[in-house]
Structure 1
Amino acid sequence: MDGNIEAPIVAASSTRDLGPDLGHDQGHDAAGAPISRIVAEVAARFPNERISLGDMALAFGDRAFGLLILLLLLPSLLPGMASVFGTPVLILGVQMGLGRSVPKLPGFIARQSIKREDLLRLAGSSSKWLRKVEHFVKPRPGVFVSPLGDRVFGWLIAYVALMLILPGPGTNGPPAFGAIVMALGLVEHDNRTTAWGIGLTIGGCAFATAVLGMVCWLGIKALGWMF
């Protein structure tokens, strides 16, 4: 990548825990679905034409993991875009799995930026299934939004990132969708949504792993026939 994230991102916005002056929970009305609120608040915090991942990580502190992972995974629902975002998602997942409370981005990732106008466009681009999930998201305490849950989340996200990086037919969407639901639950402190996301992520990763395994097996068989 050249330091710019040009792809339109399917995104959103949450007013909870996004910073000292952006922490008002405005409920879940039709115009304020979680993903839409997240995008709107990020765009409001950064008025420049482009928003760098490093700036977002610094601005949102201990909420940066969930926010960055959510915003980076949303484009993975678009055909051909998953592998572009796999590496930064992998780094964030590993850091979270190791127990870091705030992300530490390498320079080449921190300098990558998102067009502000793309963010604003993304709020309405979520899949219909994701919009359905948003109606049920609200703060709920529990084990999946605890420090232990954060570590489980991190390692699952790292595995999802590997599925996004590795080429395979139809292997990006299912793990990415589950991980987005999981990240949405993390950002909103919603134990139930995070738990559903974990289940969807495990199922999606199992499917992607099976497909990749089949592709590898067919490749080995094809080489055997050729030689």
Structure 2
Amino acid sequence: MDAPTIPPPPAPLEEREGAPISRIIAEVAAACPGERITLGEMSEAFGDRAFGLLILLLLLPSLLPGMATVFGMPMLLLGAQMGLGRRVPRLPAFMARQSIKRDDLLRLAGASSKWLGKIECYVRPRPGPFTTPFGDRLFGWLTVYVAIMLILPGPGTNGPPAFGNIVMALGLVEHDSKTMGWGILLTVLGCVFATGVLAVIGWMGVRAIGFVF
């Protein structure tokens, strides 16, 4: 009887440049055996694609109720680092220790795999004005604004900016200037909508205070 063939170990994440993002997310969750996965572990696992992939991964749980503030702060820090021209993310210890349940991450990866897969079919490396250091900085500062929208409380203000940021992140990771351009447009429109909603809420609050006093 022939000896069983032992399959080779999976290639490191940073070497699988062509792997679909949805599969990478699932493999990162599978590679971290603990009950909870920290942001520091995820940052190390993503290698040289850490900024785009980590921001993309942070956007998914931030859409859950009560999770926006938790993941909005790391997003704000990562976006600011990109905006300032850093090439490798650096999380302070108290943020690197923040974690998400492994089961929740797998559930998010599974739920998003269908629509992520459809988007990824149209994403491919396409050099252009947004696959440059300027594009990286623009991505970073727009991510900062999206993170602020996620942190501030407001009905319906999380989804539109986050969706645009997800499309931007896909373009960033795959070096696709066209997808980045669409993501920038969607992010700006989403942020305008969220800012408008928050402005109306603030105006109504001021009017209510004036009415009472």
Residue 5 of structure 2 is aligned to residue 19 of structure 1: no
Identity %: 70
- Deviation at residue 96 of structure 1 after TM alignment: 0.7
Q: Is the 8 Å Cα contact of residues 28 and 45 (structure 2) preserved in structure 1?
A: no
Structure 1 residue runs of 5 or longer lacking an equivalent are 1-14, 27-33
Partner of 1:103: 89
Residue 52 of structure 1 is matched in structure 2 by 38
Question: How far 1:130 moved relative to its partner?
Answer: 4.9
Which structure shows the bigger proportion of residues in helix conformation? 2
Residues 4-61 of structure 1 deviation map (CA, whole Å, 9 limit, x = unaligned): xxxxxxxxxxx999314xx2525xxxxxxx3421213323543444332112323433
> How many residues are paired up?
204
Instruction: Give yes or no for contact 2:168–2:182 (8 Å, CA) kept in 1.
Output: yes
Instruction: Compute the TM-score of the two structures, normalised by the length of structure 1.
Output: 0.81
Aligned match of 1:161: 147
Deviation of the 1:181 alpha carbon: 1.0
1:127 & 1:177 partners in 2: Cα distance? 15
Unmatched segments (≥5 aa) in structure 2? 1-9
CA distance in 1, matches of 2:65, 2:99: 20
Q: 1:220 aligns with which of 197, 203, 206?
A: 206
Tell me what 1:7 maps to.
none
Deviation at 1:199, TM superposition (A): 0.6
Q: Could you state the TM-score of these two structures normalised by the residue count of structure 2?
A: 0.86
Residue 107 (structure 2) pairs with residue 121 (structure 1): yes
Summarize the Cα distance change of 1:151–1:170 in structure 2 as closer, same or farther, 3 Å threshold.
same
The 8 Å contact of residues 46 and 54 in structure 2, kept in 1 or not, is answered as: no
Which letter maps to 2:119?
V
RMSD: 2.3
| CA distances 1:51-87 after superposition (whole Å, capped 9, x unpaired) | 3211232343331111110000012333443222111
Structure 1 Cα separation of the partners of residues 106 and 68 of structure 2: 20
Matched, 1:77 2:63: yes
Q: Which protein shows a greater Rg?
A: 2
Taking a change above 3 Å as real, the CA distance of residues 18 and 187 of structure 1, as seen in their structure-2 partners, is farther
